[in-house]
């Protein structure tokens, strides 16, 4: 457990450093003492790379499928014991917070970092447990690595035990993709649903104003 905490901490540190490297002059939402929520909005949003993914229904998902709507992307896996279910519950609450105000919530996409175990039926059951509108995405290792490195999501497979079971240490950041299929903002943990919902509404308003 101590080793796992160290690895997750290291991944989080690398993610923060990557964010700092990319956006030296970025505007930033002020973190409040109550939530310590970091919301980083890129001054020049980065277009997503070409993608070859499959959703939990088996449909092919490329970069163009991210156009025309906002998407909140999270990298995790269905057998994750802690970070993933907590984050998915947070995302469910974010959607509920936005719907209460009449705002349009972004689509939520879980990108699995464990495609060997997370087949389409497994992903379908998992995302539907949190919200029937959430989608699960999976892809080959090369494409997954390229996408994760592009947005700044880090993950590392741990050694399997004698039964072949293993866990995957990964960052818990949320990645906001805009209607032009670009990485628009990153939300680092800890996550507060009401705060994220408020900032998503502000980001959308700013985007629509040009």
First to last CA, the chain: 47
> For the whole prediction, is pTM greater than 0.75?
yes
101 backbone dihedrals φ, ψ, rounded to 5°:
-95, 0
Specify the pLDDT at position 48. Answer: 95
- Give me the numbers of helices (H) and strands (E) for the chain, helices first please: 5, 11
Specify the pLDDT at position 157. Answer: 87
Per-residue pLDDT of the chain (210 residues; tens, 9 = 90+): 444 443 444 444 444 434 443 433 333 333 332 233 446 888 889 999 999 999 999 999 999 999 999 999 999 999 999 999 999 999 999 999 999 999 999 999 999 999 999 999 999 999 999 999 999 999 998 889 889 999 999 989 888 888 878 999 999 999 999 999 999 999 999 999 999 999 999 999 999 997
Q: In whole angstroms, give the CA distance from residue 32 to residue 55.
A: 36
Q: In whole angstroms, give the CA distance from residue 165 to residue 95.
A: 33
**Secondary structure E strands in the chain:** 28-29, 38-47, 53-55, 60-61, 71-76, 107-112, 135-139, 155-157, 168-170, 174-177, 182-188
């Amino acid at each position: 457990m101590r080793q796992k905490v160290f690895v997750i901490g290291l991944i989080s540190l690398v993610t923060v450093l990557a964010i700092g490297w990319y956006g030296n002059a970025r505007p930033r939402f002020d973190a409040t003492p109550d939530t310590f929520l970091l919301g980083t909005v890129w001054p020049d949003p980065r277009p997503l790379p070409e993608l070859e993914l499959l959703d939990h229904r088996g449909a092919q998902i490329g970069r163009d499928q991210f156009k025309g709507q906002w998407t909140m992307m999270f990298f995790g896996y269905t057998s994750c014991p802690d970070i993933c279910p907590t984050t998915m519950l947070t995302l469910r609450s974010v959607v509920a917070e936005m719907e209460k105000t009449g705002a349009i919530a972004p689509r939520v996409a879980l990108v699995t970092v464990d495609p060997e175990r997370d087949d389409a039926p497994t992903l379908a059951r998992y995302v539907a447990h949190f919200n029937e509108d959430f989608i699960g995405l999976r892809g080959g290792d090369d494409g997954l690595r390229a996408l994760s490195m592009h947005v700044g999501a880090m993950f590392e497979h741990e050694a399997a035990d004698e039964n072949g079971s293993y866990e995957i240490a990964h960052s818990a950041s949320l990645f906001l993709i805009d209607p032009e299929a670009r990485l628009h903002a990153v939300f680092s943990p800890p996550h507060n649903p009401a705060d994220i919902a408020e900032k998503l509404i502000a980001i959308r308003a700013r985007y629509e104003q040009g």
